[in-house]
A = this chain, B = another copy of it.
Amino acid sequence: MKLLMIEDNKSVSEMMAMFFKKEQWDAHFAYDGNEAVEMFNEDPNGWDMVTLDLNLPGKDGMQVSADIRKASPTVPIIMLTARDSESDQVLGLEMGADDYVTKPFSPITLIARIKALHRRADLAKTAPAEQPANAVSSFDVQTDHFKLNTKTREAYLAGVQIQDLTPKEFDLLKTLAQKPRQVFSREQLLQLVWDYEYYGDERTVDAHIKKLRQKIEKAGPQIIQTVWGVGYKFDDSGVDAQ
């Protein structure tokens, strides 16, 4: 198991390193937020677990969590913190963390929680259809008629490339496409595509959707649907025609 521990307190990480070694886990350590996000993004899909200290120098811990979630919607995250307030805990869990452990914690407890979460997360990997490990698949989103590659930042609809996507447009499309058919509210999209604490007009999302749709139309049928009163969703099930 490949694990990333984000923790600025060296004595904590050194102690945990011993325990991780005992478990024979491939543990990596980051000591501040920016370093952590950078390290994580080198191989966003290669991590099995992240533990994140919220009290970090530099980047805010919640922001680090958001950045990691953005890069990988599924990696298990355990937040570690001295902040014991209930609202912090609830916020953390709502932000997408899977567990929230308050300091001081014992290594044994943390190990047990990591194992429990890893076991649970593994169910998602083993259950579904296998994905050839070595296969190209640098495509991060791939449905029948739609492919999206975050490394090259290219998107294809029914084989035709969607051209001239700006960064925001690409991120927006990626976010929607990662969960086909799931409806995202404007607020959710602002959190996921912009920032978790972005303060701005929700209608800005509409403006980007409009631009995005224009570019999608040049490549094929519309794959972004409006869900009236709720938000938007990606749905390429209408791209049947061959």
Contacts and interface: CB of A to CB of B under 8 A. Distances in A.
Interface stretch (A6-14, A25-33, A140-148): A140-148
Interface residues of A, number: 56
A86 B108 contact: yes
A53 to B, nearest CB: 18
Task: State the number of copies, please.
Answer: 2
A128 B179 CA distance: 11
Interface string A143-161: 1100000011110000000
Contact of A123 (B86, B124, B143, B228): B124
Contact of A136 (B99, B136, B182): B182
A181 B154 contact: yes
A151 B188 CA distance: 13
B129 A112 contact: no
A229 interface: yes
A76 B183 contact: no
A129 B132 contact: no
A180 interface: yes
Best-buried of A97, A123, A143 by chain B (most CB within 10 Å): A123
A63 interface: no
A106 B86 contact: yes
B120 A228 contact: no
